[in-house]
Amino acid sequence: SGAAPGAEDNGSGLAVLLMLAEAFKKSNIIPRKTVYFVAFAGEEQGLLGSAAFVGELVRPSGAIPKKCQGQSGSFLQRTFEPVQHEAIIMDEVGWQSTKLKGPTVNLEGFDWASNILEHLAQSSLMHNGEDLTVVHSNNPFGSDHMSFLDRAFPAVLTINGDDEAYPNYHQSSDTIVNVNKTLMHLIGRMNMGALLRVAGVRGVQEDGH
């Protein structure tokens, strides 16, 4: 009860999502795979938004665009093959723990999501160098990546290191003063690079075409 500004949890993740969506749009990149930027509601109440979204991917009802539906094929085909969806999730990407030596991101996901994990790690190495420490947890839980993983879709949560020690979790003190913009930018660069690696780049669209 009471005020819940949620600047770190999860205003930080949403802010980076919007930043990446804007940058992607302005780049005019034509990806090989369809890319969706999605903000999920109801995570705290039981992953409601992400579960509904993934459910639509598996059994489309028309609630989301056709290109995001769970099957592919033309009207000439008799059989349809499932689409392999992949997800990069951001939840709490702005708090710098004093227990850590420097900016740190935890890549949380099962080892079988190795394709995304590797793309994230290589992207950070290329774009951030040693400015961002990347660690990995093979014990995913509690956030929207689970809605994808539970359906056997590769997914990785990107979350600031030592997140469980955040002292303002679900409190009125979770305000913007606790958010480190540098850490957000580092994680954002990593995620944008990984997104392009996962989606592939077919070309760049010229303005007005």
- Residuewise pLDDT in 10s, the chain (209 residues): 678 899 999 999 999 999 999 999 999 999 999 899 999 999 989 999 999 999 988 888 888 877 655 444 334 434 445 678 999 999 999 999 999 999 999 999 999 999 999 999 999 999 999 999 999 999 999 999 999 999 999 999 999 999 999 999 999 999 999 999 999 999 999 999 999 999 999 999 887 55
Q: Report which DSSP code applies to 138.
A: S
| Cβ-Cβ contacts under 8 Å for 37 (sequence gap 6 or more) | 17, 18, 20, 21, 24
40-77 per-position pLDDT tens digit? 999 989 999 999 999 988 888 888 877 655 444 334 43
Q: How far apart are CA 84 and CA 42, in angstroms?
A: 24
Q: How far apart are CA 18 and CA 2, in angstroms?
A: 27
- Nearest 5°: CA angle at 195, between 31 and 26? 60
- Nearest 5°: CA angle at 95, between 92 and 101? 125
| Cβ-Cβ contacts under 8 Å for 160 (sequence gap 6 or more) | 92, 93, 94, 95, 96, 97, 104, 105, 106, 183, 187
Q: How much is the pTM?
A: 0.90
pLDDT at residue 1, rounded to an integer: 61
Cross-strand bridge partners of residue 24? none
pLDDT at residue 74, rounded to an integer: 38
Q: What is the mean pLDDT of the chain?
A: 91
Q: How far apart are CA 8 and CA 166, in angstroms?
A: 9
At 203 the three-state DSSP class reads strand
Q: How far apart are CA 206 and CA 59, in angstroms?
A: 36
Is residue 7 a contact partner of residue 178, using CB atoms and an 8 Å limit? yes
pLDDT at residue 67, rounded to an integer: 64
* Structure tokens that stand for 94 in this block: 């702005």
Is residue 109 a contact partner of residue 135, using CB atoms and an 8 Å limit? no
Reported as half-sphere exposure (CB side, CA atoms, 13 A), residue 152 has a value of 5
Cross-strand bridge partners of residue 137? 108
